[in-house]
Structure 1
Amino acid sequence: MSAVNKSVEDGAAFSSKVIRIVFVVLLLDLLGFTLILPLLPSILDHYAQTEDGVYQSLQSVVDWFRQAVGIPLEKKYNSVLFGGLIGSLFSLLQFLSSPVTGALSDRHGRRPLLILTTLGLMSSYAVWAVSRSFSMFLLFRVIGGICKGNVSLCTAIVADLPCPKARNRGMAMIGIAFSVGFTVGPLMGAYFAIGSRTTGNVFYQTPALLALAFSAADLLFIWLMLPETLPKDIKVSSSGCGDSSDLLSPLSLFHFAAVSRTKDPPSRDRMQALRVLGLVYFCYLFLFSGLEFTLSFLTHQRFQFTSMQQGKMFFFIGVIMALIQGGYARRIKPGSHIKAVRMAIITLIPAFILIGLSWNVTMLYIGLALYSFGESSVNLPPGSAHQKGTVMGILRSLGALARALGPVVSSSVYWIAGAQACFLITSASFVIPLTLLNIARRLKEE
């Protein structure tokens, strides 16, 4: 009996160590990733003012399309459309790379893939730091989109832990890492951008170098501290990447074909639940990501927010999210997740209506408080017992596909019809994931 107790204690100690390491790894990754968030509107304005050749070429295409469809001239909305296209490009590349990264981690282990993706992120931040043209900025986003697999890999690492309580605690720590990253990162980006201006450098150079430093520290920490969590027997029995169409075809991803065609697939009920939750997750993120991406452009244009004011806005959002996740979200009972997600989506409808109609900063921040509650209460569905990396990779890829389509659709509506129409139309469309959630609840009851 003492040997059994010792084994349990060793497993608990190992799980606690892994959770702490994953928290630091993900926090460093998110701090580097979020530095750019308050700067993007100013970066696009910078390239417009410097008359960059690539930017001007894209501008001419936008102007041609505007004239062809008879849209009134609104130069200030062009940056919104460009921002949506850049955000969609980044997410499209994540859509292509996430399931492959997840499947490879099932075959070769989490640690090697995490080291590889972090090296890729370091190279992307290095390109951003030396970029002086819009084409180099686009290259930075392309490399970053391909290599941004750390979130799904960290989630898979937590899912590898043997104890359900440890897995739940690990998922909570991932949520806290997101809250801290999105609270501190944007504010740091805005602060160091101001400092970069005072030294005579391009305003985004210091944030880019800081992102590179965070990524380098992340790589060193992974190399020295992170153990491999994928059991050897599962690693050996993994089928690898399988049919590439299962990982890259949207239809196959929605059907979770890469999981169902394994030697030991989940049960039929489990597969049905995965497919419904995948569809809910996609629809929710498609709508949410579009409005999330246009938020900084709305505040930049309507309220003339500077980069520092944008950073403070993200800080406010992060603090509210941390309070919700530390209090309400962590107390959601295992059987009540669908109900909690439904409540979160319902909350997002008035949140985005208030933001879209806001005529003063007070009204805007009331909407942002509701927005923060909704965002912090919607969690990524958990993985299956086997092929965790593949399942998480597919879910992350479906989310990336939604984030690839959402910003470009939302920014196009913003560009054509204006901010209010964009936020009101999309808010009304949240009835779609709500309907799907009701279907999922009925399936669960059956």
Structure 2
Amino acid sequence: MPLLSRFAGRRAAIVFILVTAVLDIVAMGIVIPVLPKLIEEFAGSNARAGVINGAFVALWAGMQFVASPIIGSLSDRYGRRPVLLLSTAGLAADYVLMALAPDLWWLAVGRILAGVTSASFSTVYAYMADITAPEDRARAYGLIGAAFSAGFVAGPLLGGVLGEISPRAPFWAAGTLSALAFLYGWLVLPESLPRERRMAFAWSRANPFGALRLLARDRELTGLAGVTFLLHFAHHIFSAIYVLYAGQRYGLSAWEVGMLLSFAGGLDAVMQGLLVGRVTARWGDRRTMVIGLVGGAIGIACMGLANSGWLFVLALVPNALWGLAMPTLQALMTRRVSEREQGQLQGATMSVSSVAGIASPLFFGAVYALSVGEGAAIPFIGTAFLIAAAVLLGGAFLGAATTRRAVSIAPAD
């Protein structure tokens, strides 16, 4: 039975959080096709832009590493609604700053602010955990993933169109959409965490290293955190070099890359919104997670090996299977902690993905820089994608080994 039908009394809350998520992700997706190109204008070369863009993504992730557990703990203490509202307001201000940025240093400041405000994405998952039962969370997280993907369908497409007009126009559009998300949330988004279920704020849990201790208290939770790291490490290749790689190897313009990213977002929306519930009902969360990781690895490897633009596009189809892995991985993790710790868990999980987001773009940016141009130290331009595929495949093996035992429901408070 569809999730919205099973929770008719909470349907409005689910719709509200999904719409807010779509608006935020559309705003983020708008700038994807143009930000690397804007960096290239300031940097002066494609190879140098790959390194700088990787550094910017790492900077964004570093701020998420610091801010995510703090924001997760604050949402456990004060509720989810104020955190989400502050995030969308901050994103609106950040996009305006980047629209006006005169050089790389101002863009760097913009990425710092974006990392802090985007850290509240963990609160979106905590919100959904508040209003759904543990056995329904894979489907619920699939809906969030589908909402994010829908945003990435519209965002890059709109960004590609606006980028043809001006490299600054997408940032103004993103700021406007984030402002609309704030207004929408202010008017209609209800609070999901009752006062009696809130937890006192403590820096011992809110600092990044304290938050990570939560993931170390259980063997299965630790293993799943490792899978989270590997998954995000592999997929940050898209934010680090995908746009530059597509332009350099296949000659794709900002408009064409926007179309391609929209296509990828559409595939992911179908995978997470329509298929994850059906697949988990048949195979369970564990097998579905492994299938998604293996499929994603095959797709990324095909991107690195594709010798034509069409094959590069077709590789997005198997790669879309990774959309099965994310919601099931998160659902498995939520079953290992109590209901009062969901915000802390999401903050800790975001910190893990942020560590991957720091290391991965720097690594893939460097690999890409060494594999382009005459006399490249690495002779094959698709090497970074092959490495990412191997990392994702390693995550599949770790996930299968870690979750061999049956997953139990978290203990009561």
TM-score of the superposed pair, with normalisation by structure 1: 0.81
Code of the aligned partner of 1:231: P
Residue equivalent to 1:342: 290
The Cα of 1:402 is off from its aligned counterpart by 1.0
CA contact (8 A) 1:41 1:300 kept: no
The Cα of 1:212 is off from its aligned counterpart by 0.9
CA distance in 1 between partners of 2:272 and 2:285 (Å): 14
- Per-residue CA deviations over 1:31-86 (Å, capped at 9, x if unaligned) read 1111111112311222135xxxxxxxxxxxxxxxxxxxxxxxxx532211111111
Residue equivalent to 1:428: 390
Distance of aligned partners of 1:42 and 1:273 in 2 relative to their CA distance in 1, 3 Å threshold: same
The Cα of 1:116 is off from its aligned counterpart by 1.6
- Show the 5 A alignment for 1:117-128: 117-128=87-98
The question of 1:248 aligning with 2:208 is answered yes
Q: Report the number of matched residues.
A: 389
The Cα of 1:294 is off from its aligned counterpart by 1.7
| Candidates 130, 134, 152, aligned match of 2:104 | 134
- Per-residue CA deviations over 1:314-338 (Å, capped at 9, x if unaligned) read 0111122222234322212366222
CA contact (8 A) 1:29 1:150 kept: no
CA distance in 2 between partners of 1:348 and 1:358 (Å): 15
Residue equivalent to 1:274: 221
CA distance in 2 between partners of 1:109 and 1:228 (Å): 7
CA contact (8 A) 2:367 2:383 kept: yes
CA contact (8 A) 1:290 1:403 kept: no
The question of 1:359 aligning with 2:307 is answered yes
The Cα of 1:339 is off from its aligned counterpart by 1.2
CA distance in 1 between partners of 2:240 and 2:388 (Å): 13
CA distance in 1 between partners of 2:212 and 2:116 (Å): 21
Code of the aligned partner of 2:208: L
- Show the 5 A alignment for 1:109-258: 109-161=79-131, 163=133, 167=137, 170-195=140-165, 203-235=166-198, 238-243=199-204, 247-249=207-209, 252-256=210-214
Residue equivalent to 1:401: 355
> Structure 1: any 5+ residue segments left out of the alignment?
1-10, 50-74, 196-202, 261-267
CA distance in 2 between partners of 1:292 and 1:212 (Å): 20
Residue equivalent to 1:283: 230
- Secondary structure in 2 aligned to 1:89? helix
The Cα of 1:419 is off from its aligned counterpart by 2.5
CA contact (8 A) 1:115 1:222 kept: yes
Distance of aligned partners of 1:14 and 1:432 in 2 relative to their CA distance in 1, 3 Å threshold: same
Residue equivalent to 2:374: none
Distance of aligned partners of 1:328 and 1:36 in 2 relative to their CA distance in 1, 3 Å threshold: same
| Candidates 11, 19, 33, aligned match of 1:24 | 19
CA contact (8 A) 2:138 2:277 kept: no
Residue equivalent to 1:381: 330
CA distance in 2 between partners of 1:247 and 1:126 (Å): 29
| Candidates 37, 41, 46, aligned match of 2:41 | 46
Residue equivalent to 2:261: 314
Distance of aligned partners of 1:431 and 1:295 in 2 relative to their CA distance in 1, 3 Å threshold: same
The Cα of 1:293 is off from its aligned counterpart by 2.8
The Cα of 1:22 is off from its aligned counterpart by 0.3
CA distance in 1 between partners of 2:139 and 2:300 (Å): 31
Residue equivalent to 1:64: none
CA contact (8 A) 2:271 2:323 kept: no
Work out which of the two has the higher radius of gyration on C-alpha atoms and give 1 or 2: 1
- Per-residue CA deviations over 1:258-295 (Å, capped at 9, x if unaligned) read xx8xxxxxxx7xx3332221111112211222355322
The Cα of 1:240 is off from its aligned counterpart by 1.1
Distance of aligned partners of 1:386 and 1:273 in 2 relative to their CA distance in 1, 3 Å threshold: farther
CA contact (8 A) 1:161 1:167 kept: no
Distance of aligned partners of 1:248 and 1:326 in 2 relative to their CA distance in 1, 3 Å threshold: closer
CA distance in 2 between partners of 1:90 and 1:445 (Å): 33
CA contact (8 A) 1:16 1:166 kept: no
CA distance in 1 between partners of 2:340 and 2:64 (Å): 23
CA distance in 1 between partners of 2:301 and 2:20 (Å): 36
CA contact (8 A) 2:13 2:190 kept: yes
The Cα of 1:173 is off from its aligned counterpart by 2.4
CA distance in 1 between partners of 2:142 and 2:313 (Å): 26
> Structure 2: any 5+ residue segments left out of the alignment?
1-5, 371-377, 409-413
CA RMSD of the aligned region, Å? 2.4
The Cα of 1:12 is off from its aligned counterpart by 4.2
The question of 1:369 aligning with 2:331 is answered no
Distance of aligned partners of 1:398 and 1:89 in 2 relative to their CA distance in 1, 3 Å threshold: same
TM-score of the superposed pair, with normalisation by structure 2: 0.87
Distance of aligned partners of 1:341 and 1:387 in 2 relative to their CA distance in 1, 3 Å threshold: same
The question of 1:323 aligning with 2:270 is answered yes
The Cα of 1:13 is off from its aligned counterpart by 4.4
- Secondary structure in 1 aligned to 2:201? coil
The Cα of 1:309 is off from its aligned counterpart by 0.5
Distance of aligned partners of 1:36 and 1:190 in 2 relative to their CA distance in 1, 3 Å threshold: same
The Cα of 1:442 is off from its aligned counterpart by 2.5
| Candidates 263, 266, 280, aligned match of 1:333 | 280
